Every structure is written in structure tokens, then in C-alpha cells.
Amino acid sequence: MNLCLSCAYYVYDEEYDEYYCDCRMDEDDYWRISQSRYESCPFYRNGDEYLVVRKQM
């Protein structure tokens, strides 16, 4: 879950007042992740917009 906080797919829904994963995955992918067949989420994408800029400095 800690990686989720910095993931680009982890978005806030104002209507339900909660965060959720907005990654488009099918049921098989969701099942594999929930069964811990992955050590980390294969859909994780860093949501830090300034990461590239910091590397250039």
C-alpha cells in the first residue's frame, strides 16, 4: 500500500470521499495481484512529476 500513495493511478474520488486505484486492469490481473503472485504492483507508475527535473540537476 505504501507504493500506492505515490502511484499516478491512485486518485481521489470526491463523491465517495476516498482514494482508489484507477488503473485499467482486467479480472485476471486483479486476481493475480490479490493472491500476491507479484512482489510489487506491475502497474505502478511513479506520480512524481518533478522526478525527471531533479535527475537533470
Show the domain range for 16. 3-56
Q: How many domains does the chain have?
A: 1
CB contact at 8 A, 43 and 23: yes
Kindly tell me if the per-residue pLDDT of 4 is higher than 90: no
Question: Cell match 500513495: residue?
Answer: 5
What is the C-alpha to C-alpha distance for residues 26 and 57, in angstroms, rounded to an integer? Answer: 39
- pLDDT tens digits, one per residue of 27-41: 988 888 788 766 778
* CA–CA distance, 45 with 18 (Å, rounded to integer): 20
Cell of 12: 481521489
Confidence check: pLDDT of 53 > 70: no
* CA gyration radius, the chain: 14
Grid coordinates in use for 16? Answer: 465517495
